[in-house]
Amino acid sequence: MMRQSEATIPITQGIFNLIAYADDITEQMPHVAMVAEGMDASKPVTIRIHSECLTGDLFGSKRCDCGEQLERSLEILAEKRGVLIYLRQEGRGIGLINKLRAYQLQDTGLNTLDANTHLGLKVDDRHYDIALNILKDLGITSINLLTNNPDKIAAFADGEITVVKRLPLITIPLPENKNYLNTKKELLGHLLGGKNK
C-alpha cells in the first residue's frame, strides 16, 4: 500500500491535507489520512484511527456513536494538529451488507456481538497494520491515541510507534444506542468510563 494522491481539504473543523493510500491508483475505496494543518511529527501527534461506518458517519445513524465520534475527533485533531486515519473496515470489518443483516438480528433482541456470531462472522474483524504503515509514511514515531478501544492500543505493542498516552473519546448515550454502548463496554472492554445511562 502506498500514498497515491493528496490535496488540501477545508472542512468545518479546520484545514486538513487528505491523503489517499492504496495498492493501486485505480482503487475506488482507498484508506485515507486527514492530516491537520501544522502537524509536527517531531512531537507526539494526536491520532484517531476511525473505521468506516457509512450509516453513522454519513447518514448520522443513532444506532451507534460512530458519526459523533468522527465529528468530535475532527474537532480535537484540528485543535491539536493531529491526524485522522480513516480505514475502510465497515461494520467492524464485516462489510455493509453483513452489518445490515446483523442489525436485523439486533432488532429481534440479539446484541451486536451475538448478531455477528449468529451470522458465522467474527465479533471484530478489523486490522490496524495499515494504520501503522500510514503513520510510518507520515514520519510519526510517537502518538497520543484518541480511542476507547483497547484493541487499538494493543496494535502498538510491538513498539515501533510509541503510545505516549490514551485520550478518551466520550459521547453522550442516546436511547437508540445505549445498549450498543453498554455492550461495547461490558463485553468488548471499551474504556467508556462510568455507566452509560
pLDDT, one tens digit per residue, over 10-52 is: 999 999 999 999 999 999 999 999 999 999 999 999 999 999 9
Residue 106 to residue 32: CA distance in whole angstroms: 30
pLDDT at 196: 34
Judge contact between 141 and 165, C-beta under 8 A: no
pLDDT, one tens digit per residue, over 78-102 is: 999 999 999 999 988 899 999 999 9
Going along the chain from its start, the domains and CATH numbers come out as 2-89+128-188 (3.40.50.10990), 93-125 (no CATH)
> Amino acid letter at 172?
I
Known active-site residue 126: yes
Exactly one of 24, 57, 124, 137 is catalytic; which is it?
124
- Dig out the grid coordinates for 50 from the structure: 476511525
- Please state, in angstroms and as integers, the Cα–Cα distance from residue 123 to each residue in 109, 110, 117, 119, 183, following that order: 16, 13, 6, 10, 12
DSSP label at residue 54: I
Judge contact between 2 and 22, C-beta under 8 A: yes
Look up the pTM and report it: 0.86
Exactly one of 48, 92, 101, 126 is catalytic; which is it?
126
Q: Is the pLDDT of residue 176 over 90?
A: no
pLDDT at 112: 82
